[in-house]
Structure 1
Amino acid sequence: MVINLITFASLLHKQASVRSSHEVILTELEKYFIVNLIDYQDINKLSPDDFSVIFVATGGVERLVIQHFEQLPRPAILLADGMQNSLAAALEISSWLRSRGMKSEILHGELPEIIKRIIVLHSNFMAQRSLFGMRIGVIGAPSNWLIASNVDYLLSKRRWGVEYVDIPLEHIYEYYEQTTDDEVGEACASLAGKALACREATPEDMIKAMRLYRAIKKVVEEENLSAITLSCFRLIEQTGTTGCLALALLNDEGIIAGCEGDLQSIFTMLAVKVLTGKPSFMANPSLINARTNEIVLAHCTVGIAQTEKFIIRNHFETESGIGIQGIMPTGDVTIVKCGSESLDEYYLATGTLTENTNYINMCRTQVRIKLNTPADYFLKSPLGNHHIMLHGNYEKVLDEFLQANTCKRVE
C-alpha cells in the first residue's frame, strides 16, 4: 500500500531537515506502507489514482496550502504530528478548507490509531476510485410508480464518477429471439436440480427465463456494464416471462442487477459491492412494526448464492415467469439505501434476520428483520420504497464511506 505525503514546509525550514524533524512518525508509517515524500511544488505530478495525504510539516504553511487549493486531494486528509508547530497550522488549514465546502480531517495523536485510520481512509479511497468510470445500464425505463427514485445522470457522474447508460428494450428482445431453447436446456436442468423444489413454474417458463438471462448478459458484455437495472414489468408483454431469474444469476456472477429500473437502488447495490465485496438483496419493506422495530422485506428475486436453499416459483404479481424464493441465513444484516436525485442522502441501519416468512400475499423471498434502531424511519422519512440488505454488520464501513463523500444520513 502506497501513500504519498504531499509535504508543506515553511520556506524558513530547510527541506533536508523535514525527515529528521519527523523521524518518529515517518519511521512508523514506513513499517506499514510505502511512503513517498512529495514536495508541494510537485503536486501536479500525482494522478487521481494516487492515494495522497497532506503532510503539514511545519507551521507557517497556511498560505502555501490555500494557493494549491484546486490541486489538493479530496477529501483533504491532513497529517500533523505536532512538531515544528505543524498541528497549529493544520487546525487553521482544516477550518479554512471546511469553510469552502471541502471535507477535511486531521490525523494526529497516537501512532497506532493514525495507522488504523489511514487504512480505513485508503479503503474508502480505493472504493471511490473503483466506482469512477463504472457503467450502469438502464434497460428500458424506471417503472412509472417509482416517483421518488429518480437520479440526475450528470450530478451522479460528478459526485460518484458512475455513468448511467440508457439501453432500449429492443436490444434485449433481439437477442432473446436469437437464443434457442436448445441453447439453454442444459442450464435449466442444472438449475432445477439444485432447487429445493419447483412449484408453480413450468419447464417452458424456465426456458423462457433462461433465454432472457442469456439475452441480457450479451448486452451487459457488449456495453461493458458493471450493473444493470431492468424495466422488468414491460418485458412480460413481449417475452412472456419476467426478469427475476436473470437478475438472480447475474448477481451471482458479480454483475450487480436490480429490478424495476430503480436508479437509486442499483447505485446502492453497486456501492455496497465495491466497498464490502458482498452481494445484496433489493426488496420492498412489506410489513413494519414500529413497536417491536421489526420489518419484513420481500421481493421475487435474490442472488441464489446469498441463500441457503431456494425454491423455483413464479412471479408473485403477474403469476407468470420464474420467481426465486430464497431461504436466507439468519444472523446480522445491514440495511442501506442511497437516495435523492444527486445520491447525496442515505439511510443505514443494522439488525438481525430472525426468520424467513412465507406470506401468501407477498413477493416470494421474504425475511423478517429485527432492527437495532427505530423502524419508524420507514413511516416518517423513508428514502423511497426499495431498500438494500446485505449479510453482516457493515454499518461503520458504509457510514464512513458515505460521510467521506459528504452525504447526509437520514434517521
Structure 2
Amino acid sequence: MPPPRQALKVKPVFLYRVYQPRPQTSWRNWGGIHTEEAAAQEVARIQEELKQLQASADFPLELAPLTATKDARQLSGMEDVQSADVLLVYANDGDLNAIAALKKDTIFFIRHKSGPLYLYYEIISPRFLRQHTDELQVPGMDNEDVVIDKYDEVLWRLRALCGLKNARNQGIVAIGGAGAWAQPPKVVPELVKKIWGTEIIDFSYEELGKLIRAARADEAAVKLAKQRTDEYLKDSNVTLETDRAFLENAFLLDHVFRKIMAQANCRMITINGCMGTIMPIAETSACMTLSLLNDDGYLAFCESDFVVIPAGMLLCGISGLPPFLNDPTYPHDGIITLAHCTAPRKLNGREREPARILTHFESDYGAAPKVEMRNGQIVTNVLPDFKSQRWVGLRGEIVAHPFLPICRSQIDIRYTCDDKLLADRMPGFHWMTIYGDYLRETGYALKRVGIKFEVLG
C-alpha cells in the first residue's frame, strides 16, 4: 500500500500583554485579557479548543504544544516554530509584524464572542494587514488568513494547507515520459517542476516491457493476478463485459506498476501513450489498472497530461479522495458531460461504486471501468489552464451517468452559472473532478503557488 498523506505540522501561539493601571490616563488597549491571571485562563481555554480541533480533523494534523508569549520575537529561536508548516496565532495583543517576519503560512484566530475579546478584532486590518495604508501590505498574508471565533473556518484552511503540503515536492513516475495535452514538448512539465517542485521520474516503455515479460514468467505473479480477478468479480456491483484475460492482465500490470512506484519511492504514476503504445506490451489497456491503483490510495493518471495532474495532486491532498481525470464537453442548458475510460470506484474513500468492465472505447480493446457515479452527488471540478496561471473552479451535481458512445466512465453534471460564462471561461482541456465541495480549500492553496482561482456559480 502507498504511504499515507503527510501530516500538517501546526504551531499554536497565543500573544498577549499585561497592563498596569495608571491614574488619569489611558493605560490599556481594547480587549478582555490584561492580566497574567486572565492570560492563564485563556491558555487553558485554547488548549481545550485545540483538543477539539484535533479530534474534528479529517486530514492528518500534528499540533505542537501551545506557546503563550508577550514577545513574539522569541518565537524565531524555537525549534517547533521553525519546523512548523503553519502557525495558528491567537492574535489577542502584541506584535504581529514579528509573526510576519517568520515567513510562515499563518492563520490568525481572533475572538469576538467566543471568549474574551481580542484587541486585534479592532486593528488587524488597519494596523497590521494594511500597515496604516489603504491597501494590503504584508507579503503572503491577506484577509482570508483571518478567522473570527469559528473553528470550522480554521479547519478548512488547515485542510487546504495539508493538501498543498501533500501536492508539493512529490515524485511521480511517467511511463513513456512527461507530456501535456496538445502543448509543445517539455514546456508544461518544466512549469510543474518550477511551481510544484514535482520530481518527474521518466520510465521507458522498453523497461516496462521487460518487467511485464518477467511478471508473465513469474508463476506466483500470474496466480496472484488470477486470484485478484476472482475476488474482484465476486462483487455483486461488478459486471464483466470484456474478455476475462484483459482483466487478468490489468491486475498483472497493477502488480508491475506497484513495484515501479515502490522502487521510485513514490505513490504516483502516469502513462504517456495509453491510447495505444501500452496495449500490445501489456496485452490490455491501462484503464482498469489505473482504477485499481486509485482505489487503493495511489494517484494514477492516464495520458501523462501535466497540465491537469497537479490539480489531481492538490485535490487528493486536500480531501484524501481519488480524483477523476476527464474530458469535458460543451456546456448547454445547465449541463455538461464529463467522461474518460478510467475512473476510481472508491470515490468517497469508503464504498466502491457499481461498475461495468468494458473495453476501452476508442480501441474497443482491453478492460475499462464504466463507473456508475451516484446521482445527487456534489462534486468539485477544477479546470487548469495551459500556462499554470489561471484555474477555474466549478461546483456541480451529478444528475446522470449515461451510456453514450464515448469514453466509458461518464457523468452529466448540473451547474448553476450561465452556460456562456462557463464556455467563455473554460481554460485548458482536461478537468479534474472529485466527490464533495472543496472549492474554498483549492483557492486558498493555489494563491500560495501564484495561480489565480476563479470560481463560477
TM-score normalized by structure 1?
0.82
Report the more deviating stretch, 120-129 or 265-274: 120-129
Task: Report what 1:212 is aligned to.
Answer: 253
- Structure 1 residues 331 and 84: alpha-carbon distance in aligned structure 2, compared to 1, 3 A threshold: closer
Contact 1:346 1:409 in 2 (8 A): yes
Task: Report what 2:127 is aligned to.
Answer: 92
Q: After the TM superposition, which residues 335-374 of structure 1 pair with which residues of structure 2 at under 5 Å, given as runs?
A: 335-337=380-382, 339-340=384-385, 343-359=388-404, 361-374=405-418
1:303 aligns with 2:303: no
**Deviation of 1:142 (Å):** 4.6
Contact 2:180 2:304 in 1 (8 A): no
- Kindly tell me the number of residue pairs found equivalent between the two proteins: 398
Instruction: State the SS of the aligned residue for 1:147.
Output: coil
In the alignment, which of 13, 22, 43 is matched to residue 76 of structure 2?
43
1:274 aligns with 2:317: yes
Letter in 1 for 2:305: D
**Deviation of 1:243 (Å):** 0.8
Letter in 2 for 1:330: N
Contact 1:268 1:336 in 2 (8 A): no
Q: Deviations over 1:339-360 (max 9, x none)?
A: 246745322222221111011x
C-alpha distance in 1 between matches for 2:255 and 2:307: 25
In the alignment, which of 310, 317, 324 is matched to residue 369 of structure 2?
324
- Structure 1 residues 24 and 123: alpha-carbon distance in aligned structure 2, compared to 1, 3 A threshold: farther
Task: Report what 2:182 is aligned to.
Answer: 146
Task: Report what 1:198 is aligned to.
Answer: 240
Q: Deviations over 1:274-311 (max 9, x none)?
A: 2112222111113x342x11011111111233453211
Unpaired segments ≥5 residues, structure 1? none
**Deviation of 1:244 (Å):** 0.3
C-alpha distance in 1 between matches for 2:267 and 2:434: 19
Task: Report what 2:378 is aligned to.
Answer: 333
Contact 1:149 1:341 in 2 (8 A): no
Task: Report what 1:185 is aligned to.
Answer: 226
Letter in 2 for 1:285: P
Letter in 2 for 1:303: P
TM-score normalized by structure 2?
0.74
Task: Report what 2:358 is aligned to.
Answer: 313
1:31 aligns with 2:27: no
Instruction: State the SS of the aligned residue for 2:202.
Output: strand
Instruction: State the SS of the aligned residue for 1:335.
Output: strand
Percent same amino acid among aligned pairs? Answer: 17
Task: Report what 1:376 is aligned to.
Answer: 420
Report the RMSD for the aligned CA atoms in angstroms.
Answer: 3.6
Task: Report what 2:114 is aligned to.
Answer: none
1:385 aligns with 2:416: no
Q: After the TM superposition, which residues 128-167 of structure 1 pair with which residues of structure 2 at under 5 Å, given as runs?
A: 128-142=164-178, 145-147=181-183, 152=188, 156=192, 159-167=195-203
C-alpha distance in 2 between matches for 1:192 and 1:85: 60
Instruction: State the SS of the aligned residue for 2:346.
Output: helix
Letter in 2 for 1:318: S
**Deviation of 1:210 (Å):** 2.5
**Deviation of 1:253 (Å):** 0.5
Task: Report what 1:72 is aligned to.
Answer: 103
**Deviation of 1:271 (Å):** 1.6
Unpaired segments ≥5 residues, structure 2? 1-8, 21-26, 51-64, 112-116, 217-221
